[in-house]
Amino acid sequence: MKKLNYLLVLVALFFTTNAFSQGMEPPKPIQSELINSMVGTWVSEPYEMMGMKMTDEVTQSWILNGQFFEVRVKSKGENGFDYEALVIMAPSDDGTMTGTGYDIFGKNAMTTYTATSEGNTVYMTGKSSWGSETRNITMDGNIMTQNVIFNMMGQDGKEMPPMSMSISYNKK
């Protein structure tokens, strides 16, 4: 009798697991020609940030069944300063995106992003405890241009003058 009960439990478990797994199909990957054009590793031309020359290497890829877009940034300053960031964006089929950015400054510097896209450009805004940013990313073949404006708070709690820059990246 025990063997029969054991067999019935195994058969029931098999059918339950099989039925459950058939209902758990992940969604189809997000389709975006614009984001597909951003996939790869990109190296910036040197640019000035807070009084020093910086160079970035940015690696961008689809992750988790094409549901999210990952951006990994590694920057080097001419004075030896190293910066790293990770941004995870959740695109939608309609061209909008939301996401969160993390960097070496920890949880107090986490940035929340929203974005829209049109043609070959992503229009992105970010907010965090240090201030806000506007970032327009334009794709042109193997060149990615990011026009960025940072509105930051100083250590005294007062708003600093906006920092504006245009960063050009070449596909590696």
Note the pTM of the prediction, 2 decimals: 0.84
pLDDT in 10s for each residue of the chain, 172 residues? 566 555 555 545 455 555 455 679 999 999 999 999 999 999 999 999 988 999 999 999 999 999 999 999 999 999 999 999 999 999 999 999 999 999 999 988 899 999 999 999 999 999 999 899 999 999 999 999 999 999 998 888 899 999 999 999 999 9
Does some domain include residue 2? Answer: no
Name the nearest CA neighbour of 110 among 127, 133, 88. Answer: 127
CATH of the domain at 162: 2.40.128.20
In a domain, 1, yes or no: no
Residue 67, domain extent: 33-171
Q: Is residue 145 part of a domain?
A: yes
Give dist(CA 52, CA 16) in Å, integer. Answer: 61
